[in-house]
């Protein structure tokens, strides 16, 4: 099926994180198989073949992972069926004979995590640990890359985060960790890495950095929880989506996302970037 023996399988290559990981592996000369839902949208990379599978399609997933020893699994797009998709894909990977799976989880994943999506990650982590495959878990904090998109048209960052802090991490740093682990998975077996930036910022700090970067005032408005639900009702969505959006901020408020970890530097040998550096300041 491939010119490369036992390629590394990379999911999510049509997306931001998986695309970065695939590009780094290609630059490092690692043979890979990009497992994507829409092959037309996969990046064209040296040493990479493209196969089609969605996580929920176990038959396609099992075929796509045939002959793969090491798998990078990006967590599925948030949806009501996400947990089932994770379960289907993890089962397919084990059935296909994958030996080591690297999964993008979330900082502090737990069944009762304040950030509701972190509860899905807890379930995926348990499925992976029970699968018989060797594993590495990358518990990413919020990507600093997404913060600018949280700013409203009125240049206000709003949410019930109080003066809580968040050790935002860049997608580039997460991708470098993932690529390093995928190149030598045995060295990272049964390890759970907390992937954070080097500092923990309040939302006021984030607004100040954006003000300097954009050259116009950006401010943080600390909503009450009721205000947060109310302001988000402007977008038609399901209740679980509103809960996830609001708990993004309440998880910051309660301190769950403030720990600073040395794991990015330990794995990559590079100090992770700050939000100011990410913004080019
Ligand atoms: N820590 C954070 O701040 C943060 C922020 C956003 C998202 N996330 C999570 O981290 C993941 C990666 O982030 P990202 O920024 O790279 O997101 P992204 O740009 O939306 O990319 C997600 C990738 O996963 C693929 N994918 C999603 N669901 C899938 C499924 N059911 N079956 C097969 N492929 C699937 C997508 O394929 P398509 O191109 O076909 O859709 C895409 O390639 C996200 O999927 C999300 O779970 C974390």
Which amino acid residue places its CA nearest to atom 43 of ligand 1? 12
Which amino acid residue places its CA nearest to atom 20 of ligand 1? 15
What is the average pLDDT value for the chain, to the nearest integer? 97
In angstroms, what is the span from residue 143 Cα to ligand 1's centroid?
12
pLDDT for res 1: 39
Q: How far apart are CA 78 and CA 89, in angstroms?
A: 15
Kindly state if the Cβ of 60 falls inside 6 Å of ligand 1.
no
pLDDT (average), residues 124-142: 98
- For residue 248, pLDDT beyond 50: yes
Q: Which of 17, 41, 103 to mutate to test the pocket of ligand 1 (most atoms within 8 A of CB)?
A: 17
Kindly state if the Cβ of 170 falls inside 6 Å of ligand 1.
no
Which amino acid residue places its CA nearest to atom 11 of ligand 1? 75
Model pLDDT for residues 70-97, shown as the tens digit of each residue: 999 999 999 999 999 999 999 999 999 9
- For residue 2, pLDDT beyond 60: no
Model pLDDT for residues 5-19, shown as the tens digit of each residue: 689 999 999 999 999
The CA-based angle 204-208-211, given to 5 degrees, is 135
Which amino acid residue places its CA nearest to atom 19 of ligand 1? 15
- Output the CATH code of domain 8-140+171-195+260-268: 3.40.50.720
Ordered by start, the domain boundaries in the chain are 8-140+171-195+260-268
pLDDT (average), residues 31-46: 98
Q: Among candidates 109, 122, 93, 132, which has minimal Cα distance to 11?
A: 93
pLDDT for res 6: 80
Q: Among candidates 218, 248, 136, which has minimal Cα distance to 182?
A: 136
pLDDT for res 185: 98
Model pLDDT for residues 207-232, shown as the tens digit of each residue: 999 999 999 999 999 999 999 999 99
pLDDT (average), residues 248-257: 98
pLDDT (average), residues 228-241: 96
Q: How far apart are CA 125 and CA 278, in angstroms?
A: 29
């Amino acid at each position: 099926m491939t010119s490369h023996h036992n390629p590394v399988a990379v999911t999510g290559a049509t997306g931001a994180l998986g695309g970065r990981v695939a590009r780094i592996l290609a630059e490092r000369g690692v043979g890979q198989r990009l497992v994507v839902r829409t092959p037309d949208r996969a990046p064209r990379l040296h040493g990479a073949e493209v196969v089609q599978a969605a996580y929920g399609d176990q038959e396609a997933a099992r075929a796509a992972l045939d002959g793969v020893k090491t798998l990078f699994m990006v967590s599925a797009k948030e949806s009501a069926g996400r947990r089932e998709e994770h379960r289907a894909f993890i089962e397919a990977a084990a059935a296909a004979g994958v030996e080591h799976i690297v999964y993008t989880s979330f900082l502090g994943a737990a069944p009762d995590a304040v950030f509701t999506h972190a509860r899905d990650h807890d379930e995926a982590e348990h499925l992976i640990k029970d699968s018989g495959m060797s594993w590495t878990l990358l518990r990413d904090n919020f990507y600093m890359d997404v913060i600018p998109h949280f700013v409203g048209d009125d240049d206000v960052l709003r949410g019930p985060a109080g003066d809580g802090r968040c050790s935002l991490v860049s997608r580039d740093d997460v991708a470098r960790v993932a690529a390093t682990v995928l190149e030598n998975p045995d060295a990272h077996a049964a390890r759970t890495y907390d992937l954070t930036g080097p500092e923990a910022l309040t939302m006021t700090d984030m607004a100040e950095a954006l003000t300097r970067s954009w050259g116009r005032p950006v401010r943080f408005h600390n909503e009450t929880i009721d205000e947060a639900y109310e302001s988000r009702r402007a977008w038609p969505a399901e209740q679980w989506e509103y809960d996830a959006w609001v708990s993004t901020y309440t998880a910051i408020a309660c301190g769950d996302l403030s720990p600073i970890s040395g794991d990015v530097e330990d794995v990559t040998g590079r100090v992770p970037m700050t939000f100011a550096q990410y913004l080019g300041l």
